[in-house]
C-alpha cells in the first residue's frame, strides 16, 4: 500500500511538470517567432541554393552556375513546396479552367508563342522532367561518346617537328585504332548509347570524323536545350509561389 502511495506521489509530480513540458515541446515543434527565424537560419537557408551538379571544391563559371541555380530553384518549388497541394493549377471542382495559362494573363508577350494557352503547371512539369530525366541522360550519352572517341577513334596524340625550326606539331596517330567491328567483341561497349548516334550503321565508327561530328552535334543540342529550358524557367517565375 505504501509503495502504491509513493508511486502515486511520483506520478503526481510528473503530471505537475507536464504542462511545462508541453509548452516547451510545442514551442520547438511549432517554431513560433523568434524560433522560426532560427530554424531558417540553421536549416532551411532560403538565402542559399545548393548546386548538386557542382562540387564544392571545383571552380565553375557564372554561366553554368546561373543555369544550375535556376533549375534547382524550380526543382525545390516542385519537390519541397508541393504547389499542387495548395493552388488550383487546372480545373476547379466544376470542370472550369481556372488555372493560369501561359501568355493569356501576362502584361508582356510570351517569348515562346507555341506554348501560349498551355497550363503554366504543365510547363513547370516539362522543365522539371527535362532537368531530372532528359538532361542527365543527354550528359551521360555525351560523356560516353567523348570517352569512346578518345579510346578508339581519335588515336594517340604525338608531337613531331614542325616545318619551322624550334616548333613541334601535335598530330593524332590512328594507325593502332580498330578497323573492324570484331575488335569490340571482347570490349564492354555500350551499344545502346552508340546506336542512337550511328545512323543505323555501326561501321560509321570508322568513317573519318563521323563520331567527332556526332559528338559536337550532341553538345550543341544540349546547350540549346539548356538555354530553352532556362528561358522557360524564367517565363514561369512569377507563378512559383504557394
The answer to whether the beta carbons of residues 230 and 67 sit under 8 Å apart is yes
Grid coordinates representing 218 are: 550532341
Place 193 in a pLDDT band, splitting at 50, 70 and 90: very high
Express each pLDDT in 99-135 by its tens digit: 999 998 767 788 999 999 999 999 999 999 999 999 9
3-state helix, strand, coil in the chain (%, to 5): 55, 5, 35
Consecutive H or E run containing 11: helix 2-30
Query: Which residue has 580498330 as its cell numbers?
Result: 178
Q: What integer pLDDT is reported at residue 33 of this predicted model?
A: 61
pLDDT of residue 40 exceeding 90, the answer is no
Query: What integer best gives the mean pLDDT of the chain?
Result: 87
Cα(90)–Cα(242) distance, rounded to whole angstroms? Answer: 15
Which residues have a Cβ under 8 Å from the Cβ of 170 and sit 6 or more positions away? 157, 158, 159
Amino acid at each position: 500500500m505504501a509503495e502504491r502511495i509513493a508511486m502515486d506521489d511520483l506520478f503526481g509530480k510528473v503530471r505537475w511538470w507536464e504542462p511545462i513540458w508541453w509548452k516547451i515541446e510545442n514551442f520547438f515543434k511549432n517554431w513560433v517567432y523568434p524560433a522560426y527565424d532560427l530554424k531558417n537560419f540553421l536549416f532551411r537557408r532560403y538565402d542559399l541554393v545548393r548546386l548538386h551538379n557542382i562540387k564544392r571544391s571545383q571552380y565553375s563559371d557564372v554561366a553554368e552556375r546561373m543555369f544550375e541555380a535556376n533549375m534547382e530553384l524550380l526543382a525545390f518549388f516542385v519537390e519541397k513546396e508541393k504547389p499542387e497541394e495548395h493552388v488550383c493549377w487546372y480545373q476547379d471542382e466544376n470542370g472550369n479552367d481556372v488555372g493560369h495559362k501561359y501568355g493569356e494573363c501576362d502584361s508582356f508577350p510570351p517569348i515562346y508563342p507555341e506554348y501560349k494557352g498551355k497550363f503554366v503547371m504543365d510547363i513547370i512539369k516539362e522543365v522539371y522532367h527535362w532537368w531530372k530525366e532528359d538532361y542527365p541522360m543527354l550528359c551521360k550519352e555525351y560523356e560516353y561518346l567523348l570517352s569512346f572517341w578518345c579510346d578508339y577513334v581519335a588515336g594517340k596524340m604525338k608531337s613531331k617537328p614542325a616545318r619551322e625550326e624550334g616548333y613541334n606539331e601535335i598530330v593524332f596517330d590512328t594507325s593502332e585504332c580498330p578497323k573492324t567491328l570484331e575488335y569490340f567483341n571482347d570490349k564492354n561497349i555500350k551499344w545502346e548509347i552508340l546506336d542512337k548516334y550511328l545512323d543505323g550503321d555501326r561501321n560509321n565508327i570508322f568513317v573519318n570524323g563521323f563520331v567527332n561530328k556526332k559528338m559536337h552535334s550532341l553538345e550543341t543540342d544540349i546547350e540549346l536545350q539548356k538555354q530553352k529550358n532556362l528561358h522557360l524557367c524564367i517565363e514561369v517565375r512569377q507563378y512559383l509561389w504557394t
